[in-house]
């Protein structure tokens, strides 16, 4: 296994308390808002599948389908999925999955969010590199998305006098 090709890691310092970051990570509806998946009425429960229609432009025809692995309040949230499974005619269900793990850590200026997606070395070679590259780009965008979502929700909270 080659760590450089098997895992994607992103870190971002979010200027919000850990409890707020956790809320937008572990609450499926909030997660869907920044991640680009319709998850209204859904919950993340360890050991259960969560599905929702992707709302990201150009990918609305796809179903987001993850197996939630861990939900450790204000610490770790993880799930398994089929990376860059974007061809509607392809059955990815027999392929290995990658593990996406979000970890939270208190910092002086806010909360450090670390996201690691690992297991790419087990993805079929014919699509491994493309999946790695696309998910790598995707995590860059998602880190910006959660940061922006938290800024907007913090402003809304201040406006409501919380």
pLDDT score for 147 = 97
* Domain at 8-156: CATH architecture: 2-Layer Sandwich (3.30)
pLDDT score for 155 = 72
pLDDT score for 5 = 78
* CA separation for the pair 118, 121 (Å, rounded): 8
Tens of each residue's pLDDT in the chain, 162 residues: 666 779 999 999 999 999 999 999 999 999 999 999 999 999 999 999 999 999 999 999 999 999 999 999 999 999 999 999 999 889 999 999 999 999 999 999 999 999 999 999 999 999 999 999 999 999 999 999 999 999 998 776 666 665
pLDDT score for 153 = 84
In the chain, where the domains are located: 8-156
* CA separation for the pair 143, 109 (Å, rounded): 17
pLDDT score for 2 = 63
| pTM of structure | 0.93
Chain centre distance of CA 63: 15
* CA separation for the pair 129, 120 (Å, rounded): 8
pLDDT score for 88 = 84
């Amino acid at each position: 296994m080659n760590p450089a090709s098997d895992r994607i890691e992103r870190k971002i310092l979010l200027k919000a308390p850990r409890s707020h970051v956790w809320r937008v990570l572990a609450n499926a509806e909030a997660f869907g808002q920044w991640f680009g998946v319709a998850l209204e009425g859904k919950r993340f429960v360890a050991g259960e599948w969560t599905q929702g229609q992707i709302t990201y432009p150009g990918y609305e025809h796809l179903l987001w389908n993850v197996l939630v692995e861990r939900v450790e309040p204000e610490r770790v949230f993880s799930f398994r999925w089929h990376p860059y499974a974007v061809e509607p005619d392809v059955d990815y269900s027999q392929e290995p999955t990658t593990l996406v793990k979000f970890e939270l850590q208190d910092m002086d200026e806010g909360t450090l969010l670390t996201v690691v997606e690992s297991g790419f070395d087990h993805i079929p070679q014919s699509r491994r590199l493309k999946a790695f590259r696309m998910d790598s780009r995707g995590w860059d965008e998602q880190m910006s998305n959660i940061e922006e979502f938290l800024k907007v929700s913090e402003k809304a909270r201040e406006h409501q006098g919380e």
